[in-house]
Structure 1
Amino acid sequence: MTRKSAIILLAGGQARRMGGGDKNLIELAGKPVLRHVLDRVDFANRPIMLNANGDPARYADFGLPVCADVIDGYAGPLAGILTGLEWVAANQADCTHMVSLATDAPFLPIDLIARLGSGLDDGADIAQAMSYTRRHPVFAIWPVALADALRKAVIDDGLRKIDDFTARYHCVTVEFVGTPDPFMNLNRPDDFDLAIEFLTKPSQDR
């Protein structure tokens, strides 16, 4: 089967450890964290949607469609993934899959999307990223056909953890390596300080 994927950028977190606000709009080495993500990952002209709650105008400079969670209240990352799957189903009829990724990770692998897609080649339903034995369930590729099952799981079954949902399917991991960890995310002010150190090192040292 030919796969075509749309991309959902997840920005619905509450950033409590950063004191609230939008982590992905904080400037890091001269540009917002979200811009680092957009400049780094090879999106290959795939459709992209930003999942963010609140006033979408704050993301106007990025020129992306912005959709709030389709479920009221903060239901965690599964709500964002459901929002993405339903957006793809309604707006990108030629897309069979969706890649989800968080927007607070400025060192993502350039080939993230292509390699997640290759993780499905042996018949898996879902493929997730892994680095240094740690799984990263938010960074994953999903069949759009799972939208109805995920809506039922979140609303009827009350699921809130990605792992609880993916356990129902054949889910595999795709291993990534790098320095820093390519899935280093910025949760605390200290994380921003460390990221700036990596970004300002001479390229041969990174």
Structure 2
Amino acid sequence: MVTNAPDTTQRPPAVILAGGRSSRMGRPKAGLVLGGRTILDHIVERLAPQVGNIALNLNADPGIGLPPGLAVLADAVPGYFGPLAGVLTAMRHATEVAPHATHVLTVPTDTPFFPDDLVVRLSSVPDPEGTIAVAWSGGEMHPLFALWPVAITDDLEGWIRTDTKLRVRAFIARHPSAAVDFPMIATKAGPLDPFFNINTPDELREAEAWLQRLKDRKA
């Protein structure tokens, strides 16, 4: 398990969701190279200062070396049930590694530019105890960037076993939730959605260009 010091006890655990089939990319997205490093490395680097520990939900060999100590979790339910199976896996894992945590963070493995204040802002919603805090940008929901209450773990497992469509948004609608809006990232080439995700080779090339613009922005 990847951990981050100092005091991480008050930070939620996080699970990177990489259990999908990557059909449009044709290979596991965690191992894609962006700026000379894997996307997984970029995501772990962004997460580490924000969370208590990090694990990876993965159902296949990523074909790469993983960061040292990163726990790898197969889906908690047999068969392929989509991203909700990864969320359930994250909840189950959180109760084991952080029994006092009320929430677990999930992030997908194909979104390397997400905000470095993601957890702080998701945690700031009113009445957070039983609320699913979900990231939004540009009027769009990003349902896998969310803080999930572990108290709804059993309900999610029941939903997975009985609902045929397995829609993440539909499950969120069953529970109290809060939308947390994040601004675009300003660059000289125009605004970048911090939740820009990579599903195709063309989008990987586009991400390379955005990465360079972000480096130029900091220079």
Alignment check: 8 A CA contact 1:28 1:192 kept: yes
Counterparts of 2:155 and 2:130 in 1: how far apart (Å)? 17
Q: Runs of 5+ in structure 2 lacking a partner?
A: 1-9, 186-191
Amino acid at match of 2:80: Y
Structure 1 residue corresponding to 2:212, chosen from 184, 200, 206: 200
- Within 5 Å, give how 1:75-94 maps onto structure 2: 75-94=81-100
1:69-99 per-position Cα deviation (integer Å, ceiling 9, x unaligned): 0122211110000011011113321211101
Name the structure 2 match of 1:147: 153
Alignment check: 8 A CA contact 2:136 2:180 kept: yes
Q: Identify which range, 36-45 or 109-118, moves more after superposition.
A: 36-45
Report the structure, 1 or 2, having the larger helix content: 1
- Within 5 Å, give how 1:30-179 maps onto structure 2: 30-41=36-47, 43-44=49-50, 46-55=52-61, 58-121=64-127, 125-158=131-164, 160-179=166-185
Q: Runs of 5+ in structure 1 lacking a partner?
A: none
1:82-122 per-position Cα deviation (integer Å, ceiling 9, x unaligned): 01101111332121110111011111100111111112446
1:25-68 per-position Cα deviation (integer Å, ceiling 9, x unaligned): 11111100111112223544502111000247845334210010
Cα gap change, 1:123/1:89 in structure 2, threshold over 3 Å: closer, same or farther? Answer: closer
Amino acid at match of 1:203: D
Counterparts of 2:20 and 2:89 in 1: how far apart (Å)? 14
Cα gap change, 1:64/1:156 in structure 2, threshold over 3 Å: closer, same or farther? Answer: same
TM-score of the superposed pair, with normalisation by structure 1: 0.90
Amino acid at match of 1:14: R
Counterparts of 1:122 and 1:67 in 2: how far apart (Å)? 27
Structure 2 residue corresponding to 1:14, chosen from 17, 21, 28: 21
Amino acid at match of 2:159: A
Matched residue count: 204
Q: Identify which range, 110-119 or 57-66, moves more after superposition.
A: 57-66
Alignment check: 8 A CA contact 2:12 2:51 kept: no
Counterparts of 1:192 and 1:141 in 2: how far apart (Å)? 27
RMSD: 2.3
Cα gap change, 1:59/1:155 in structure 2, threshold over 3 Å: closer, same or farther? Answer: farther
Q: Identify which range, 170-179 or 39-48, moves more after superposition.
A: 39-48
Amino acid at match of 1:157: D
> SS of the residue aligned with 2:91?
helix
Name the structure 1 match of 2:198: 186
> SS of the residue aligned with 2:122?
helix
Identity %: 37
